[in-house]
Structure 1
Amino acid sequence: MDIPALLTSAGMNIGISVGMFSLYSILRKQPLNVRVYFGQRIAQGRTRNENLCFERFVPSASWILKAWEATEEDIFACGGIDAVVFLRIVVFSIRIFAIATILCTFLVLPLNYFGQGIEGVEDSTAMDLLTIGNVREGSRWLWAHCFTLYVISGCACTLLYYEYENVARMRIEQVHRFPARPSNFTVVVRGIPWSSVESYSESVGKFFSNYYAHSYISHQIIYRFGAVEQIMEDAEKMYKVMTTVPVIATAPVDQCCETSVDHRCGLCGARSNSFKRVGAGSESTRRNVDDELREKECEAALVFFRSRYDALVVSQTIQSADPMLWVTELAPEPLDVFWQNLCVPYNLLWIRKISVFIASIVFSVLFLLPTTFVQGLTKIQYLQNAFPILRRVSDRSYINLITGYLPSLVLTVFLTVVPPLMMLFSTLEGRVSRSTRKRSACVKVLIFMFWNVYFSNILSGSWIERMGKLTVTSPKDLATLLAELIPRQASFFMTYVMTSGWSGLSFELLQPVPLLGNWLFKCVLMKEEDFIRPVTFSFHTEVTRVLLFGLLGFTFCILAPLILPFLLVYFCFAFLVYRNQIMNVYFVKYQTDGSYWTLAHNATIFSLILTQVVAGILFGMKKSSSASTCTIPLIICTALFNVFCKNRFLPLFKNRAAQVQPKEEDKQSEKPKKSSSSESLEELEIVKPENLSGDQPSPSPSPSASSHQLEPEEKIVSIN
C-alpha cells in the first residue's frame, strides 16, 4: 500500500468520524432518543428534560466536557468496578503509547527515513522508507532502536505493576463495600451423586448437616422447568388449589395473599411478592407433587451458610474423594446466575469444552478465507500476473479506495460475527454465571483477534506477495519470517486502526441499530411502549479491540513508528467515548470484580515479549549482533516480571482472602429447622424464574443485599 491509498483511507475515516460525532451531538438532545442515549440514567431513575430551543439542533461538544470532568467515583457508581478497570486499561494505553510516540517520532522515525537501506530494492514503496527495513546492515543507528525498546518495556512494566496493584486493592475493597451480598454467603454445589433411596434435596441436606453442622443454614435445589411446561404446571396447580381447598367464608379475601408485596395478583385486590403459596391438599396430592418435583430435580443446589468465612472455606474445599462429585464454588449474584447451565451435568462439561475448542479451531481456519481475500485487495498489483483482468482495475482512478479503505472495511464487517459466536461457544461450555460467560467469550475473541487479525494478515499478505512461495519448516523460520514481514504490513494496520478504531468509536457513540429501531417503533408502528431496554456493556468486544491495538502499537513501535499517532488518537477518543457511554447508555447487571485486568496484563506481556523477540531477530538480520544480544536480558526480565506479578497478585483474582472476611457483622440468622418434602404444601415456596434470572434491571450497578434474609423454609428454584 502506498501513501495515496493511506491518505484516501484517512480522509474517508476522518470524514465519517466527524460526521457521526456531529450527528450524535444533535440526536442526543432530541426527546425521542432519550431511551437510546440515556438508558442507564433512566434505569437509575434520573430523568432529563429538554426544552424546545435552537440549541437542540446545533452540534456541540458538551458531552466531551462532561465525560472529561467525570471522576472515578462517578464511573464506579454508574458502571461498577469492571467499568473502572476497563477505563484503566485505556488510560494505561494512553500513557505508554504517549511515551512511545514521543520517543519513536523524534528518535526512531528520522533514523528509519535516512537509513538508505532499501535504495534500488524492487517492490519497495514510500511507506517502506519509514520502517526499520530502510536501516542499513551493520548500522550503529540500531542502538537507538534497542535503547527505545528498553525504555518502552521498562515504562510498560512499571505501569503494569502500578495498575495491577490498584485493581487488586479495589477487589479487596469490594468485600467491605458490599458486606451483605447474597453471593458471599452462598455456595453452588454441582455433581450431587444420584441415589435411588433419597432425592437430591435430601442428599444435600444430609451431606451439609453432617459435615458443616455449625455453619449450614439451608439450601435450594435447582429444578428443570421449561417455559411452556412452567405455565401448564402453574395452571394445573391453581386448578388443584381451587378445587381441593375449602373456602372459609369468614376469612377476608386479602388474607389469601402475603403482605410483603411487589405486584398485584389476579385473584384479589391485594399485592403479592415473587413467591406463591400452594394451599394444603390431600395426602395423595402432596405425594404426587413430591414425585413430580423429584423427577425434575437437577444435580445442583444453592447452599446457604451463616457467615462469609464459612462459605469461603466450603467453596475452596474438596468435598469428596471423587473430584467430580460435590463440586463447590462461590455462587454468583442473583442477577448474574445463568440458570439454564446449572442443570447441565457436571461430568459432561469436559466434553462440551473439548467440542467448543474444536469448533473454535475450525472457525479460525475457515476465517482464513476472508483474511486472504482482504489481503488480496491490498496486493492487487501482485495478482495481475495470475489474474490479467485485474490490470484494468489497477489503472482506474479509484484504485486507492480499493487498496486503502475497502480492505479494512471488509475485514471489520467480517469480524462482527465473531463476538456473538464466541458468546455462544462460552454458553455451551456450561458457565453458571453471566459474568464468567462474558469473560470466557472475551478470552476467545482475544485469541481469535490476535491470530486472525494480526498473524493471519501478515502471513497471508506475504504469501500473496511471493505468490505461494512462502514456506515455514520450523519455529525459527516462523520467527525470522515475522521479523521480516511485520514492517511491510504497517500500512494495512494503519488503515485498520482508522476504520475499526476511529469509525468504530463513532458508530459506538451513535448507536445506529437501537436508534433506527426506536424510530421505526415509535414513528412508523406508533407504539407507546418502549423499544429500547438497558443493555450491558460489551466487554468481550471492546476489551479485545483495545488489547489488539495495544499489540499493534508494541510490535510496530520501533519497526514502523508511523502507526503510533493513529493509535494515540484512537485511545484518547476511546477514553472520552467509553466514559460517556458508561455514564449514560449501558446498564450494569453483574460484575466480574475487575477480572478483565488479568487478560489485559497477559496480553500486554505477550505483546512485549513478541516485540522483543522480533526486534532481536531483526537486529541479527541487520548484522548488529551486539544489539541483538542485548534483547535477551530484556526478554528474560520481562518474563520474570510476569512471574512475579502472577505470584503477587493473581491469587487475589482467583480466590478470596480469608483475612479480609469480617467476623463481627458476618452472621446470618439462626439455623432454622430443616424442612422436608413431606411437610404440608402450605410451607412449600416456588421461586419464579423471572425474579431470579436477572431479566429485570436493577438500578444499582453492584446490588447490595443489606436487607437480605434467608427464609427458613426450603426454596425451589425453577429454571425457565
Structure 2
Amino acid sequence: MIVSALLTSVGINSGLCVLFFNLYSILKKQPEYYNVYAPRLLVDGELRMSNSFNIERLIPNPGWMRQTWELSEDEFLSSSGLDAMVFMHIITFSLRVFTLSGIIGVFVLLPVNFSGDQLQDINFANLTNNSLDLFTISNLKNGSKRLWVHFWAIYIITIFVCYLLYYEYAYVSSKRIAFLHSSIPLPQHFTILVHSIPLQPRTNINNTVENFFMEYHPSTYLSHLAVGRANKLINRNEVRAAFVSFKSRYAASMALHMQQSDNPIEWVTEQAPAPHDVYWPFFYSSFMQRWISKLVVVFVCLLLTFLFLIPVLIVQGLTNLSQLEARVPFLKSILKIAFISQVLTGYLPSLILQLFLKAVPRIMKFLSSIQGYISRSEIKRSACNKVLWFTVWNIFLANVFSGSIFNQLAVFLEPKNVPARLAVAVPGQASFFIAYVVTSGWTSTSTELFRLIPLIISLIKKPFVKPSSTDEFKAPTFSYHVHIPRVLFFGLLGITYFFLAPLILPFLSIYFCLGYIIYRNQLINVYAPKYETGGRYWPIVHNSVIFSLLMMHAIAVGIFTLKKLPLASSLLVPLPVFTLVFNSYCRKRFLPIFTGYSAESLINKDRDDINEDPRMAEFFNALVTAYQNPALLPKHNNNHETQSSPLLSTVQV
C-alpha cells in the first residue's frame, strides 16, 4: 500500500467520525430519540420528555464529552458495575502503554526506519506515492547498527507493560474484594448448584438432597430448591440438580470447594449464579448430550475458522494492486484511476473484513450456550474468549500468512522456523493493519456512539408502534464478548508492530482516546448492568497481553536473525523467559481472587451482616424461593424479577 492510499482511508474514516459525532450531539437532544441515545437514563427516570421547541437542540456541541469525563470512577463503578469498570481499565491500560510506546516509536524508531535505504531511494518530492514499507524496519540494511535502537526499545516496552499489568491486576483484584464488602447480601453468595445427584430407591430428589445435607452439613444447611423442567410432559425430578443454600457465605464456600462424595462424579458442586442470570436450558441436557455438544462446538469452530479464510484471501487480493490486475484483467483501465485504486487498496479491504466479522460474536455466543454453562454471564465470558482467539488467528495470523507466505505454510508448522517466518510475514502486512485500525477502529467506535442500527429500527417502528411507557421499556445490556476482543486485538497489533512499523501507533492512540470517551458515555447513558461476572474478564485481558508480548519477542528474534544481528537475537531470549515467569507469578498471586473469595473476606462479611444488617431473617426467607424456574411460575406472575425482594439484588459479584 502506498502513502496516498492510506491517506485516502484516513480521510474517508475521519469524515465519517466527524459526521457521526455531530449527528449524535444533535439527535441525543431530541426527546423522540431518548430511547436510542439515553435508554438507561429514560428507564431510571432521569430524563423528562418535552415537546417544547428549542433552537439549541439543532446545534451540535461537545458538551456531552465533558459530562462523561467528569464522573468519578467510584460513581461510575456504583452505577455501571465492576465489569464495566474493568472494561474501561482495558482502555486506560492501553492508553498508558501506547503513550510511552508512541513517544518511542514516532520520535525514535520511525526516523531511524525512514533514514534507511534498504528498499529504495525516497522521493521526497512525491512522498505520497512511496510505499509505507519505507517507514518500517524492513528499510534498514542487514547488520545495521541502528537495529540496536529497536533492541533496547523492545526491552523498555516489555518491562513497562509488565509493570502496568501487575499494577492493574492488583488494582482490579482490590476492587473485586472491596465490591464484596460493600455489597448487600446476594443469593449467589449463599448458594451452590449441586448436580449429578444419585437417585435413591423409593425417594425423590427433594428428599435425597435434604437428607444428604442435613446429615453432612447439619449446622450450616439452610434450604434447597430442586431444578424443575419446564416441560410438563416430563417428570420434574428427572433433573438431578438442585440449588442448595446455606446460612453463611463461608459455609457455602466450604461446601463448594469440598468434594461431597467418595465418588467424585456424584454430588458435583459449582458456584450458583445470580437468580436472574441462570441459563435454564443447561439443566435439560444429559451428561452425554453436553459431552457431544462440546465436541460439536470444537468441530464447528474449526470449520468456521477454515471458511473464514475465504474472505481473508479476497481481502489480501485487494490489498495487492499488481495481483488484482493480473487476476482480473478487465479492471486494469479502472484501476488506473488514482482515487479508485486508493479506495480499493486502502479502504475497501478493511471494510469487507469488518462486515464478515460482524456475525462472529453471535455465532460464538450461540456455540457457548450449548456447552453447558449455567449462567448467561459465563456464556458471554466464554464467547469473549472464543471471539478473541478467532480474531487473533483469522485477522492477524491468517492475513499475515495468506498475504506473504501462504504457499510456505507447511514450513511455518515447524516450531524452530516460526520466528523466522513471522519475521518475514508480519512486516509485510503493516500497511493493511494500519488501514484496519482506521476503518475497524475509528469508524466502528463512532458507529457505536451513533447507534446506527437502533436508530434505523426506531425510525421504522415509529409510524406503526405506539410510544410505550418507561415501565415497559428496558435498557440494553453491554455486549462484552463483542467489544473486549476488539480492544484486545488492537492492543496485540500495537505491541507486535511497535518496533516493526511504529507508524501504526498514532492511529491506535487516537482509537483508544475515542474509545475512552465513547464507551464511557455509552455505559453511563445507554447500557444498564444486568449480568455480571464480578470483574472476571480481567484474567482474559492479562493472558492476551502476555500473548502479545511473546508474539513480539518471537518476531523480534526472527527479525534480528534475518537482519544479520545474531547477538541481538541471543540477548532477546531472556525476555520471553522473564515474561513467562512474570505471568506465572501473577497467576499465583492474583488469579485465585477471581475464582473465589478467601475465608478472611467471607467470614468478615458474614460478621458484618450479623452485626449491622437487621434484615438478614427477611433475606433468608426470600432465599428459599429465589431460584425458582420462571417458566414454572404462574403466568400472571411470570416475571422472575418480581419474585425477589429488594435484598435479592440483580447485581452479581
The TM-score normalised by the length of structure 1 is: 0.82
Superimposed CA distance per residue, residues 496-537 of structure 1 (whole angstroms, 9 cap, x where no aligned partner)? 111111101111011112112222222344555679631110
Cα gap change, 1:644/1:170 in structure 2, threshold over 3 Å: closer, same or farther? same
Equivalent residue number for residue 137 of structure 2: 132
Cα gap change, 1:195/1:416 in structure 2, threshold over 3 Å: closer, same or farther? same
1:210 to 190, 215, 231: 215
1:489 to 429, 433, 444: 429
Equivalent residue number for residue 84 of structure 2: 83
Equivalent residue number for residue 404 of structure 2: 462
Cα gap change, 1:309/1:478 in structure 2, threshold over 3 Å: closer, same or farther? same
Q: CA deviation at 1:477?
A: 2.8
Superimposed CA distance per residue, residues 332-384 of structure 1 (whole angstroms, 9 cap, x where no aligned partner)? 11121112213333454333222211211111111111111111111231243
Contact 1:376–1:383 at 8 Å: present in 2 too?
yes
- Supply the distance in 2 between the matched residues of 1:702 and 1:135 (Cα, whole angstroms): 60
- Supply the distance in 1 between the matched residues of 2:269 and 2:585 (Cα, whole angstroms): 29
- Supply the distance in 1 between the matched residues of 2:448 and 2:619 (Cα, whole angstroms): 50
Instruction: Report the structure number with the largest CA radius of gyration.
Output: 1
- Supply the distance in 1 between the matched residues of 2:518 and 2:476 (Cα, whole angstroms): 17
Q: CA deviation at 1:390?
A: 4.0
- Other structure's SS at 1:589 match: coil
Equivalent residue number for residue 246 of structure 1: none
Superimposed CA distance per residue, residues 50-103 of structure 1 (whole angstroms, 9 cap, x where no aligned partner)? 552111001110111111111112211221000111101100000010100001
Which structure shows the higher helix fraction? Answer: 2
Aligned length: 625
- Supply the distance in 1 between the matched residues of 2:640 and 2:195 (Cα, whole angstroms): 18
1:448 to 365, 373, 390: 390
Equivalent residue number for residue 679 of structure 1: none
AA matched with 2:435: T
1:591 is the counterpart of 2:532: yes
Cα gap change, 1:113/1:693 in structure 2, threshold over 3 Å: closer, same or farther? farther
Equivalent residue number for residue 42 of structure 1: 42
Equivalent residue number for residue 655 of structure 1: 596
Equivalent residue number for residue 559 of structure 1: 500
AA matched with 1:170: K
Q: CA deviation at 1:457?
A: 0.7
Contact 1:521–1:527 at 8 Å: present in 2 too?
no
Contact 2:361–2:482 at 8 Å: present in 1 too?
yes
1:514 to 454, 457, 466: 454
Contact 1:590–1:702 at 8 Å: present in 2 too?
no
1:181 to 186, 199, 210: 186
AA matched with 1:84: M
Superimposed CA distance per residue, residues 161-207 of structure 1 (whole angstroms, 9 cap, x where no aligned partner)? 00000111111112211141111111111111233421112211111
AA matched with 1:27: L
1:112 is the counterpart of 2:113: yes
Equivalent residue number for residue 428 of structure 1: 370
2:308 to 355, 363, 367: 367
2:607 to 641, 645, 664: 664
AA matched with 1:405: Y
Contact 1:300–1:343 at 8 Å: present in 2 too?
no
Contact 2:68–2:517 at 8 Å: present in 1 too?
yes
- Supply the distance in 2 between the matched residues of 1:557 and 1:699 (Cα, whole angstroms): 50
AA matched with 2:147: L
Contact 2:82–2:532 at 8 Å: present in 1 too?
yes
Equivalent residue number for residue 172 of structure 1: 177
Contact 1:588–1:701 at 8 Å: present in 2 too?
no
Structure 1: where are the runs of 5+ without partners?
230-291, 674-684, 706-720
Equivalent residue number for residue 489 of structure 2: 548
AA matched with 1:76: L
Matches within 5 A, 1:342-381: 342-346=283-287, 348-381=289-322
- Supply the distance in 2 between the matched residues of 1:670 and 1:420 (Cα, whole angstroms): 40
Contact 2:531–2:651 at 8 Å: present in 1 too?
no
- Supply the distance in 2 between the matched residues of 1:370 and 1:701 (Cα, whole angstroms): 48
Equivalent residue number for residue 201 of structure 1: 206
AA matched with 2:426: I
Q: 189-198 vs 620-629, which deviates more? A: 189-198
- Supply the distance in 1 between the matched residues of 2:583 and 2:238 (Cα, whole angstroms): 45
- Supply the distance in 1 between the matched residues of 2:220 and 2:288 (Cα, whole angstroms): 28
Kindly, what percent of the aligned residue pairs are identical?
Answer: 40
Structure 2: where are the runs of 5+ without partners?
123-128, 611-615, 622-630
Cα gap change, 1:695/1:471 in structure 2, threshold over 3 Å: closer, same or farther? farther
Cα gap change, 1:692/1:538 in structure 2, threshold over 3 Å: closer, same or farther? same
Instruction: Compute the RMSD of aligned alpha carbons.
Output: 2.7
AA matched with 2:385: V
Equivalent residue number for residue 29 of structure 1: 29
Equivalent residue number for residue 474 of structure 1: 414
Contact 1:522–1:528 at 8 Å: present in 2 too?
no
1:399 is the counterpart of 2:399: no
- Supply the distance in 2 between the matched residues of 1:330 and 1:427 (Cα, whole angstroms): 18
Equivalent residue number for residue 191 of structure 1: 196
- Supply the distance in 1 between the matched residues of 2:202 and 2:234 (Cα, whole angstroms): 15
Superimposed CA distance per residue, residues 5-61 of structure 1 (whole angstroms, 9 cap, x where no aligned partner)? 111111110011110110000000000011111111233332245552111001110
- Supply the distance in 1 between the matched residues of 2:236 and 2:65 (Cα, whole angstroms): 57
Contact 1:189–1:326 at 8 Å: present in 2 too?
yes
Equivalent residue number for residue 288 of structure 1: none
- Supply the distance in 2 between the matched residues of 1:177 and 1:672 (Cα, whole angstroms): 19
